[in-house]
Amino acid sequence: MFQAPKEFSVLGMPVHVMDNYPSWLLNCWQYNQGTHVITLNAEMTMQAQQNPTLAKIIKSADLVIPDGAGVVLYLRWLLWQKVNRCPGIELAEKLLCAVGQQQTDKTVFFYGGAPGVAATAAEFWLQKSPGLNIAGTYSGYHTPEEEQQLKQTLAQLQPQIILVGLGVPRQELWISQNRHLCPQSIWIGVGGSFDIWSGTKSRAPSWLADNNLEWLYRLYQEPWRWRRMLALPQFAVKACIYHLTAKSAT
Ligand code: UDP
């Protein structure tokens, strides 16, 4: 039914390269094709090297998009062709806008973020796209009992799109463990997207993003990230070694 996207390897992790991710996903949405989308960046790739469970989840995802500048630069180097970056937040936005225009009964669910953040993000979306049918929201900080309640709610509502913003790798593990609850849904790990839509945080200005420097803005906004960001130079070194040794082996 679907054209299989072209798959390439970035440090052993699959990445799907195609021209139009939103339309591929919209097709899944139209045909109720259960889908798990992973938004791969250099940091997640490095985490996967240390975390076999995360690596397994990425390898079995239906769609892995090149979310980060490091992954895109590596793919351009590997393929010698233009590869467009597809930030997860933008893919989710395009999908929500397209779905909002369809005026259907199919619903959307937001899970994650500090208390009230997903609900404020939902209000933002209802203003932006009144046709969107948001079935519910749930904070990412809760007791195990509340999580059981969330799972029951999801199983009952069967939202067609479920955005999970718990950060990496928590959201990937959670989706992998729970996607059977809504097997026909599109599940996307969206990181801090609810923070952006709710106005709690802002995205980097486009001139920084266009120059592959979005990470610098995040570091400025969240200086505590410096330790996590050590993964970026490590990724660059590993990518060079991986690429050159793979080349010499051919
Ligand atoms: N978060 C959550 N529950 C948790 C831990 C984190 O809902 O137990 C949320 C947090 O409030 C934030 C998001 O997960 O909205 C993580 O955002 P970040 O930008 O750090 O994601 P990443 O860079 O890991 O994709």
What separation in Å is there between the alpha carbon of 229 and the centre of ligand 1? 15
Residue-number span of the structural domain to which 133 is assigned: 6-140+156-202
Q: Is 168 in the pocket of ligand 1 (CB under 6 A)?
A: yes
Q: What is the pLDDT of residue 85?
A: 93
Residue 19 above 70 pLDDT? yes
Query: Token pair for residue 125?
Result: 């979306």
83 domain residue, yes or no: yes
Q: CB 18: neighbour CB atoms within 10 A?
A: 15
Q: Region of 34 please: left (phi>0), alpha (psi -120 to 50) or beta.
A: beta
Residue 55 maps to a domain: yes
Determine the pLDDT at residue 242. Answer: 86
- What pTM did the predictor assign? 0.96
Q: State which ligand 1 atom lies nearest to the alpha carbon of 41.
A: 25
Q: What is the pLDDT of residues 23-62, one digit of tens each?
A: 999 999 999 999 999 999 999 999 999 999 999 999 999 9
Instruction: Give me the number of domains the chain comprises.
Output: 1
Confirm or reject: Cβ of 70 under 6 Å from ligand 1.
no
Closest CA to 165 of 139, 143, 191: 191
Give me the pLDDT at residue 23, please.
95
DSSP letter at 225 equals G
Would 119 be classed as within a structural domain? yes
| 166 Cα nearest atom in ligand 1 | 14
Residue-wise pLDDT for 55-92, tens only, equals 999 999 999 999 999 999 999 998 888 899 999 999 99
Q: Does ligand 1 have an atom closer than 6 angstroms to the CB of 14?
A: no
**16/18 Cα distance (integer angstroms):** 7
pLDDT at 212 (0 to 100): 86
Distance 230 CA to ligand 1 centre (A): 18
In a domain, 10, yes or no: yes
Q: Average pLDDT in the 127-150 region? A: 97
Higher pLDDT, 178 or 1: 178
Strand 134-138 and strand 108-112: the pairing is parallel
Flag whether 174 is in a domain: yes
- Whether residue 232 is contained in a domain is answered as no
Q: pLDDT tier at 113 (50, 70, 90 boundaries)? A: very high
What was the pLDDT predicted at 81?
A: 87
- DSSP letter for 168, please: T
Distance of CA 78 to the CA centre of its chain: 23
Q: pLDDT value at position 210?
A: 87
For the CA of 114, the nearest atom of ligand 1:
11
Which ranges of 61-134 does DSSP label H, i.e. alpha helix?
A: 69-79, 88-102, 117-128
Whether 167 lines ligand 1, by a CB cut-off of 6 Å, is yes
Contact call for residues 118 and 138 (beta carbons, < 8 A): yes
Evaluate whether residue 216 is within a structural domain. Answer: no
- The string of pLDDT tens digits covering residues 153-209 is 999 999 999 999 999 999 999 999 999 999 999 999 999 999 999 999 999 999 998
Tell me the chain's radius of gyration from C-alpha atoms: 18
Residue 5: pLDDT band (50, 70, 90) is: confident
In this predicted structure, what is the pLDDT of residue 247? 61
| Domain assignment of residue 248, yes or no | no
Closest approach atom of ligand 1 to CA 228: 23
Q: Which own/partner contact pairs does 129-132 have at CB distance under 8 Å and 24+ positions apart?
A: 129/96, 129/97, 129/100, 129/101, 130/100, 131/100, 131/101, 131/102, 131/103, 132/96, 132/99, 132/100, 132/108
At residue 248, does pLDDT exceed 70? Answer: no
CA-closest residue to ligand 1 atom 19: 192
Nearest C-alpha to atom 11 of ligand 1 is from which residue? 113
Q: Using most ligand atoms within 8 A of CB, pick from 54, 170, 201, 214 the residue to mutate for ligand 1.
A: 170
Quick one: pLDDT band at residue 246, thresholds 50, 70, 90?
confident
pLDDT of 244 = 83
